[in-house]
């Protein structure tokens, strides 16, 4: 199997010779490349401005601790889509990891999402499921029958004021750098509450982490001589051959970068949230005892902390028993030069994207995809599914 480094070419000397160029080596681009090779006789060249493949799901192994670091924050694979599950298992085996999250509130740790254990611990009670459900309905109080005008009112309506104030209000405020009373109710259309002791975070049929790591999985997907990759290449840099001016209209292009950037931001900029990380290292085998610890209180400036070793307990023999690494995650509004993570999706943003989408649909021989190309937030299984569908409905017909 060729590694990403072996796949990469020299952007200064490599001629434009592939049948298809894919801009972006994230999951949408990788799945599309794999499908082109499998179902057509075309050759593919992938470019990416970063120095690695995999997009935001890229990971690497930390030399000191042996932990697999998810460079852009925790990535956890889960799906109920049988087609997607069968597809990804062609390229990697998965561990039996089941994601569970805990939240620290006022010095006490609670299981999340809110479940019967959370409720009984919070209220120092032993409610049955029926009793707990009745309690939550009562605590919604005056908000139970109103049309929520902001996130505060929506949260209180969904889970009652005490639980909302404890676990959601300040956490959400940190996520958005905005008081929840000033945020739209639509941000939290629902809040999961389980009236049993199930604290599994996801409810999907299948869940796990790639046994050999994310990057090994992605390398296998494009391990074919008809796929080449150039890393560290800016699609908008006309000093190198794989640029927009040289390619569009001359060769089919799959574009997964920011849709507003493709059009030179001529209609305005779409708004995103981004995250920053602060790394902490501890002379301990295990600092939290869990992979992810949320912090619900406003006096802790970060939203959560990620301890990567705990995602892979099956690798204990390959990990340093005396060292661990933790990343603290901070959320903020993104600037143009930041890595965009989550679309803000205000009504103004939605209207602006609709205009860009119309322009994208009129572009000759270009297929727009991925979260940046379609201004949407996707989990990994969703982006894989959209790529499989896009290949069938857009890419393959374009290549014919």
Q: Which residues are catalytic?
A: 190, 194, 273, 304, 329, 377, 379
| Pairwise CA distance, residues 292 & 352, whole Å | 35
Of 35, 343, 373, 394, give the one whose Cα is nearest residue 235. 373
What is the CA angle 286-288-292, rounded to 5? 120
Query: Contact 254/365 with Cβ under 8 angstroms?
Result: no
The DSSP-derived string for 211-222 is TT-HHHHHHHHT
Beta strands in the chain (DSSP E): 20-23, 44-48, 59-61, 68-70, 77-79, 101-105, 108-112, 206-208, 227-231, 253-255, 272-282, 292-295, 304-307, 324-333, 342-343, 366-368
Query: Contact 36/391 with Cβ under 8 angstroms?
Result: yes
| Pairwise CA distance, residues 207 & 76, whole Å | 8
| Pairwise CA distance, residues 65 & 128, whole Å | 43
Question: Residue 361: which residues within 8 A CB-CB, separation 6 or more?
Answer: none
| Pairwise CA distance, residues 256 & 22, whole Å | 8
Eight-state DSSP code of residue 146? S
| Pairwise CA distance, residues 393 & 400, whole Å | 12
Q: Helix 151-159 to helix 129-140 angle, to the nearest 10 degrees?
A: 150
Query: Contact 292/308 with Cβ under 8 angstroms?
Result: no
User: Assign residue 57 a region: left if phi > 0, alpha if psi is -120 to 50, beta otherwise?
Assistant: alpha
């Amino acid at each position: 199997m060729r590694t990403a480094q072996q796949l990469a070419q020299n952007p200064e000397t490599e001629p434009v010779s592939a049948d298809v160029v894919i801009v972006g080596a994230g999951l949408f681009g990788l799945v599309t490349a794999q499908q082109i090779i499998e179902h057509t006789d075309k050759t593919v060249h992938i470019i990416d401005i970063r120095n690695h493949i995999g997009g935001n799901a890229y990971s690497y192994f930390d030399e000191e601790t042996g932990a697999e670091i998810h460079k852009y924050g925790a990535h956890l694979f889960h799906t109920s889509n049988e087609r997607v599950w069968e597809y990804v298992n062609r390229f990697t085996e998965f561990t039996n990891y089941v994601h569970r999250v805990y939240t620290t509130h006022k010095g006490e740790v609670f299981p999340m999402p809110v479940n019967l254990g959370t409720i009984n611990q919070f209220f120092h009670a032993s409610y049955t499921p029926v009793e707990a459900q009745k309690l939550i309905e009562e605590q919604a109080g005056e908000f139970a029958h109103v049309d929520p005008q902001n996130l505060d009112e929506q949260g209180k309506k969904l889970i009652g004021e005490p639980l909302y104030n404890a676990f959601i209000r300040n956490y959400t405020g940190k996520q958005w750098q905005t008081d929840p009373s000033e945020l739209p109710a639509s941000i939290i259309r629902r809040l999961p509450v389980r009236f049993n002791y199930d604290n599994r975070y996801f409810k999907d049929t299948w869940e796990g982490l790639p046994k050999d790591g994310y990057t090994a999985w992605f390398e296998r997907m494009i391990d074919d001589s008809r796929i080449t990759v150039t890393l560290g290449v800016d699609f908008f840099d006309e000093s190198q051959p794989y640029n927009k001016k040289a390619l569009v209209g001359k060769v089919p292009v799959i574009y997964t970068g920011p849709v507003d950037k493709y059009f030179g931001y001529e209609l305005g900029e779409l708004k995103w949230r981004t995250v920053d990380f602060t790394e902490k290292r501890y002379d301990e085998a295990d600092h939290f005892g869990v992979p992810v610890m949320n912090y619900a209180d406003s006096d802790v400036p970060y939203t959560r902390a990620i301890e990567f070793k705990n995602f892979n307990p099956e690798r204990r023999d390959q990990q340093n028993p005396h060292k661990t690494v933790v990343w603290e995650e901070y959320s903020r509004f993104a600037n143009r030069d930041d890595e965009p993570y989550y679309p803000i999706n205000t009504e103004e943003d939605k209207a602006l994207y609709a205009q860009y989408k119309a322009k994208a649909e009129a572009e000759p021989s270009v297929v727009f995809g991925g979260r940046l190309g379609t201004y949407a937030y996707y989990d990994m299984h969703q982006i894989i599914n959209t790529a499989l569908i896009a290949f069938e409905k857009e890419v393959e017909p374009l290549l014919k």
